[in-house]
Structure 1
Amino acid sequence: MNKLVSIVIPAHNEEENIIVIVDRIEKVFDTLPYRFEILVVDDGGTDKTLEVIENLAKAKDNFFYVEFSRNFGHQPALKAGLDYANGDCVISLDADLQHPPELFRQMLEKWEEGYDIVYTRRKEDKKLPFKKRKTSYYFYRLLNSLSDIEIEQGTADFRLLDKKAVKIFRDFKENDLFIRGLVKWLGFRQCPIDYIPEARFAGASKYSVSKMRKLAIQGVTSLSTKPLHTAAYLGFFFSMMSLLYIPYVVYAFYVGKQVNGWASLIMTVAFFGGLQLIILGIIGIYIGKMFMQTKNRPNYIIRSTNIEGIL
């Protein structure tokens, strides 16, 4: 079999993990009838990740790397890998070894069956901290409630894409990338594979609670206009509710009773003032995304690479 499989690995400060994950990938392909290449994208790290991947590139003919000029983020790094991968299919995974390369065999079997996209669903690991598990749960719940597509619990950026899907990704010019949502939006024949994540081999997780929150907002606003509709419905609902107060005001006027309740009045004004700021904030996010998109800046800037023809 002469098919080429590209392995894309975004890496940010993963110097201790790169050699280990490359070794495991090579052992997996020793048992598979495919040619393969590995493409690591160094996302502006501050450790020795670049030095490690440069040494691997000198020693291995099928090892390639792209170095960003600064830290652009995980999603642009993943996009860069898809942009420069040459395989008949592309498998993306993180460098921390929580995505087991041994799952490649199942993914490739599904691909050979005719599926264009094979994505993975992480089973809940009871060993993870309660806060981490709940953060992940509410992340997907918020995303699905406010977007137009359904992203399954535990879905991440560990997946196989046929070259047809990869070709479409290369044409995307979106400034605010949310690739796992775009994968569902693409359609094609998709198939899930469940797996149990392994423990991170070395280093610390790059996704804090604040980054997960930012990613959720980015995903919702990239895939849907539902938040704008929700803001409009809220405004309509509270406008209708305010009409219920009119009979009381009319009654108080004719019977000569003073309208008391400064505390409740201030509370009401503060509540609706806050609501208006939330609605304006939602609108502002969309306008801000449009503003950034009109600049037409690239998703990333490449500082160095061993791929011919890029620089």
Structure 2
Amino acid sequence: MHAAGPVTLSLVIPVFNEEDSLDGFLVRIGQVFAREAQIGLELVFVNDGSTDATLDRLLRHQMDDPRIRIVDLSRNFGKEAALSAGLQTATGRIVVPIDVDLQDPPEVILQMVARWREGYEMVLGHRISRRNDSWAKQTSANWFYRLHNRIAEQPLPENVGDFRLMDRCVVDALLTLPESRRFMKGLFAWVGFRTTHVDYERPERAAGKSKFNGWRLWNFALEGITSFSTEPLRIWTYLGAAVSLVSFGIAMFIVTRTLIYGVDLPGYASLMVAVTFLGGLQLIGIGVLGEYLGRTYIEAKHRPVFLVRRIYEPKD
């Protein structure tokens, strides 16, 4: 059990070109926590290289709200890096990553805090439906979770995003992980700790547009699979062995038929099919190797996950 007294909560909020969403988000946060005297709130906004007026609007809000801290990254590093920057900056005893689009309702945070007081160190926000997502997004998400959880050593909880409550011990553990290519959902699951969840209905986005298109989601899925499983490499070993056995069987059949019936004219079409099929398999296998080799190459450089241009404290 965690103490029932006052606690400091840090909200980590990555933003990229979200000037239209900030006002409504801050109003909603103010409404939710206005009567929560036992929760000291810290708002850590991470400006991930926005090219609109996001930073200027944040600075204006900061003049009126001393709870706001702004981490301004030197360029756009991506949400995973921005989230890592926010976790590194947050000072609260408990930390909750949340987006400004209000698809993750701030009211759920109060339920998470209640579960944390029961002794849990991580409280997941579990979406009970994805009805506001497109059919393609729902289908691809379901297939990704099925594939990932079948081949990865540490499964991911389905229909759970970055929205969760973490105790300080969880945040400190995450900050010790050294990789520069960070798939945060996998890292959250990998560290473990005592975990539970709260269910919630995910509404439509309040303002602005999602920055994740189909191509980015595809690359994100590849990142998740290759970050926590070497099973794709093993699959190609088995596939190569299977193709070799089939080829050996076909060769024995041809030899036997030739000895019995004599030599006939080989078929051009079947030859082209065999060559292109095996060539395609080889190229795909090389591509899988390249995915892992590329990640190894990037990790070997030991570049930082992000670079901070400036941290704007309330008195700056």
Verify same fold: TM over 0.5.
yes
Deviation, 1:258, is: 1.7
Counterpart of 1:256, as a letter, is G
Report the Cα offset of residue 134 of structure 1.
1.8
Q: Is the 8 A contact 1:117 1:161 kept in 2?
A: yes
State the partner residue of 2:296.
290
SS of equivalent to 1:202? coil
- The equivalent residue for 2:121 is 116
- Contact 1:135 1:209 survives alignment (8 Å): no
Aligned pairs (5 A) from 1:224-235: 224-235=229-240
TM-score, scaled to structure 2: 0.93
**Is 1:28 matched with 2:12?**
no
**Corresponding residue for residue 200 of structure 2:** 195
Give the residue type in structure 2 aligned to 1:86. Answer: T
SS in structure 2 opposite 1:28?
helix
Q: Which amino acid aligns with 2:278?
A: F
Q: How many residues align?
A: 308
Cross-structure match for 2:96: 91
Is residue 12–residue 45 contact of structure 2 (8 Å, CA) maintained in 1?
Answer: yes
What is residue 20 of structure 2 aligned with on the other side?
Answer: 16
Residue of structure 1 equivalent to 2:283: 277
Task: Tell me which moved more, 141-150 or 85-94.
Answer: 141-150
**TM-superposition CA deviations, 1:154-198 (whole Å, max 9, x none):** 111101111001001112221211111111111111112221111
For structure 2, list consecutive stretches of 5 or more residues without a partner in the other structure.
none
1:139 CA drift (Å) = 2.7
The answer for the alignment partner of 1:143 in structure 2 is 148
Shift of 1:307: 4.1
- Determine which of 33, 36, 43 is the counterpart of 1:38: 43
Deviations 1:70-97 (A, max 9, x none): 1100100001010010010100111111
Aligned twin of 1:256: 262
Query: What SS does structure 2 have at the residue aligned with 1:51?
Result: helix
**1:270-289 per-position Cα deviation (integer Å, ceiling 9, x unaligned):** 11111111111111111111
Aligned residue for 1:198, secondary structure, equals coil
Where does structure 1 lack aligned partners over 5 or more consecutive residues? Answer: none
Shift of 1:54: 1.1
CA-based RMSD of the aligned residues comes to 1.5
What is the distance in 2 between the residues matched to 1:101 and 1:111? 16
Structure 1 residue 210: Cα displacement: 1.0
Within-5 A mapping of 1:64-79:
64-79=69-84
Shift of the alpha carbon at 1:16? 1.4
Q: Could you tell me which amino acid in structure 1 is paired with residue 222 of structure 2?
A: I
Deviation at 1:20, TM superposition (A): 1.5
Question: In 2, Cα distance between the equivalents of 1:125 and 1:218?
Answer: 22
Contact in 2 for aligned 1:249/1:259 (Cα 8 Å): no
After TM superposition, list the pairs within 5 Å mapping 1:103-182 onto structure 2. Answer: 103-182=108-187
Q: 1:6 aligns with which of 5, 10, 18?
A: 10
